[in-house]
Amino acid sequence: MGIHAGVAVATAILAYAVYYGIVVSPALDGIRGTIVGVVVKRLAGVILLGFVPAGIAVTALPFPLAELGLTPLIPPRTWLWVGGASVVIVIGCLLTAHKPENYDVYPEMRTPRWGFGAVAANSISSALYMFAYEFLFRGFVLFACLAAMTPALAITVNVVLYVLAHVPKGRREALGSIPLGVVVCLASIDTGAIWAAFLIHSIMSQLNDYLAVRANPGMRFAFGTSAP
């Protein structure tokens, strides 16, 4: 593994370990699952998984951010990947969202009433977090590895790290992250950018959240009222 790929992988492992330490910290026990608690957790992810790797990329690696997938424009082929993946995502979410094992966990915000405030807080914080998350995995790590190894090996390294990040969420999510990880890696390599991965992951996450709200007997949408 090249030195730059090694730096990227080591940074990803360390940044995610620190982030996970924050996620499981007893300090969040009093607000875990609340709107404030989830937003705080996601903003910590934005800093540790997004800004920290970006800072290291700019100062310690010989790659401009555009070469790490953070292109200023969205490549046209992005929409082919997003369109194709969305069909599978919609079908998958419709098949699983109504199951208790899904809506007992998602959405992370366990507020019973989902008004405009709750939806806005969830959607915006989730999008920011997903952007940082995809920059870390499918930008910083993937493209640094591609500069030092074959695409197959770079994808393997990426997916292994991605699976390890999902292990604390259980066997189901860890296994599910394998095909998703491969697809978003291929999309990123094909387009030279993280945009497809970001959009695919965001669509899946938010669609699952709101279908889970609809399916959960303890939650309901309440637009026009404030959510507690």
Give residue-wise pLDDT tens across range 80-130.
999 999 999 999 999 998 999 999 999 999 999 999 999 999 999 999 999
- How far apart CA 77 and CA 1 sit, in angstroms, is 30
- pLDDT score for 1: 61
Buried b / exposed e along 23-54 (16+ C-beta atoms within 10 A): eeeeebeeebebbebbbbbbebbbebbbebbb
Q: Is the pLDDT of residue 58 over 80?
A: yes
- pLDDT score for 104: 93
| Mean predicted confidence (pLDDT) in 29-54 | 95
- pLDDT score for 172: 83
Q: Judge residue 78's burial from the number of C-beta atoms within 10 Å of its C-beta, 0-12 exposed, 13-18 middle, 19 or more buried.
A: buried
- pLDDT score for 21: 93
- pLDDT score for 227: 43
Instruction: Tell me, yes or no, if the pTM score tops 0.75.
Output: yes
